[in-house]
Structures are given as C-alpha cells and as structure tokens.
Structure 1
Amino acid sequence: METEGMLVQSIYYGRIGSEATERLLERFGRDGSFLLRDSETVHGAFCLCVRRAPFVHTYRLMHSTDGWCLQDSRTRPQRFRTLETLIENYRRATVSVGGVAPLTDPLDKTQLPHIVGQEFVYMEMSSTEATSGAEEDDRDT
C-alpha cells in the first residue's frame, strides 16, 4: 500500500468487515462515497465499496502480472498499473461504467470524527464481548 498514491492511502481501511464498512458509509458518507478495504474472502484482493442508497455496492479488485482490474464476469477486464489509476479511471466517469456506481466522494479516514478510531479498535478484536461493547457505544453517540 505504501507504493500507492495519497488517494488510495487515505481511503484504505485495511481489514474491516463488510458490516463495519456499511456502517461507516451510512454514517459518514453520501451517495457516491467510497472506500477501499481488504477482501474478506480472497487473499491479496481488495474491495472497493461505494454507497449508492439504499445499498453499499462492493467490487473486488484483483491483481495479476498485467496489473489491477475490477473482477467482473460479464466483461473483459480493463487492467491498470496501480490501484490509484484504476480508481481514478472510474472516478472520472460521469456515468456508471461497467456497472460500477459513480465514485464521487472518497471517505478519507483522516477526516472522520475521533470516535470512529475507537470503533475500529473494537471491530478488530475477536471476542464477542468486545464486539457487543462497540455496538453499545455506537448507540450512545
């Protein structure tokens, strides 16, 4: 991730799950808000998650020797040298390209309120007790 540009570094949330991603985008995003996270099921892949009410759409980004591409079984994938160029390509599109919801607002993790950092601590813990505490904290805010 260090070799990627500032955009990717600011929207990369690491190993957060799909439920945590949906909560973040619902709470702090708007239509077109997007972030990048590790895939929960495919090692080395990323998920580009985009809010388009009432849903959060998730697109898997895969890497090969040819570069990065959006995994899509309907079309032949377009390859990009970096994640940054892939994301910027879809951001520049004024309409949905290849079925991807428009990317308008990067959900920059450095711009979120401090409480979000506390929620990540709870979400990354594996015990059930810690997870239920995060949900209780979330309701209090």
Structure 2
Amino acid sequence: MENLAVYHGPIGKEEGERRLGQDGRDGCYLVRNSDSVEGVYCLCVLCQGYVYTYRIHKDDAGSWAAETSPGVQKRYFRQIKNLIAAFQKPGQGIAMPLLYPVTLEFNVYSATQTESHKARETAPCMGNHTMYEQGRVGRCFPSRTHSFCSKQSCCRET
C-alpha cells in the first residue's frame, strides 16, 4: 500500500475530507487507513460536494476487494492498483468513477535546510536530494517548495 501514490496513511476522516475538498473536483479520490477497523483502508471519492467512503481490504487469499453499493457483486483483484483501475470506469457500484488522483506530496527537507528535522515555513528543493519517508523513496524536484517536515522524513544528497 505504501507504494500507492494516492495512499495518504492514517490521516483520519476529517483530514481526508479536507484534502478532497481542497482539490474540489468531482471524481477526485484518495486512499487512507480506516479510523475504526484495523488493517482496513478507505477509498474516498468526492461527488457533488460530498465525500463517499468505501472500505477496501485484503482477504486471506491476498486479493483486494471494496465494499460497494448493495446489489453490486463484489469483485476481487490481485493488486490494489487493479482495483483502482476498475473503479475508474462508470457503473462499478460507487458514487462516481475515480477520475482525479489526489496524491500524497512528500514534504522534504535536507539536513542543511533544518536542524534536527525541525520545520521551516518553506524550503526550496534544489533537486539534488533523494527523499526517504516511511519506506518510500522518491526524487525531489527542482524549484519545488516543501512546506512541512516531520521527524519521519528526511533528504539525503545524491
């Protein structure tokens, strides 16, 4: 799940809704951890100002499934990305197709930009760092400004 660009982690319902509302487009979506059920995730999609949430989980056989509208046959997928691809089409038992991924933007600082990973208001990335965060590896992009840093993330010069 951590390698999925739309996975935002344990952000909670309210923060998930805020992020979708910030995007504002019908069909924008993200995946987050469920607040109430351990090991279950939520696929959240914005439709006409409302956020619809569908639980997704991996079964004992390793297949992914989503809880959709009543009467819609449950489908199983080997990979989460295949589940998301299926729900990008109309008529799949969710409020509307998944159209616009709301990706998690990595907020990164280098050791020269912060002391002990404390946040600064803004810090431009020069594009010469590789980002490491919660098991993910990504490349920083030149001229991009990052506005937050947590103790879980850091940059290393490449």
TM-score by length of 2: 0.62
Contact 1:57/1:101 (<8 A) preserved: no
Aligned pairs (5 A) from 1:120-139: none
For residues 1-141 of structure 1, the aligned pairs below 5 Å read 1-2=1-2, 4=3, 8=4, 10-66=5-61, 67-72=63-68, 74=70, 75-91=72-88, 93=89, 95-110=90-105, 114-115=146-147, 117=148
Q: Deviations over 1:35-87 (max 9, x none)?
A: 00001111111100111121011110021134111124723311001111100
Q: Which runs of 5+ in 2 are unaligned?
A: 108-144, 151-158
Q: Indicate conservation of the 8 Å contact 2:69/2:93, yes or no.
A: no
The structure with more strand, counted as a fraction of residues: 2
Unaligned runs of 5+ in 1: 122-141
**How many aligned positions are there?**
111
Query: Who wins on radius of gyration, i.e. which is larger?
Result: 2
Which amino acid is 1:80 matched to?
F
Compute the displacement of 1:33 (Å). 0.7
CA shift, 1:11, in A, is 0.8
The change in CA–CA distance for 1:97 and 1:73 in structure 2 (over 3 A counts) is closer
Instruction: Letter of the 2:12 partner, please give it.
Output: G
**C-alpha distance in 2 between matches for 1:114 and 1:59:** 31
Match of 1:127 in 2: none
Work out whether residues 29 and 107 of structure 1, in 8 Å CA contact, stay in contact via their aligned partners in 2.
no
Helix, strand or coil at the partner of 1:21 = helix
Q: Please report how far the alpha carbon of residue 111 of structure 1 lies from its aligned counterpart in structure 2 after TM superposition.
A: 7.8
Q: How does the TM-score come out when normalised to structure 1?
A: 0.68
* Amino acid of the structure 1 residue aligned with 2:100: D
The answer to which structure, 1 or 2, has the higher relative contact order (CA under 8 A, 6+ apart) is: 1
Task: Report which of the two has the higher share of helix.
Answer: 1
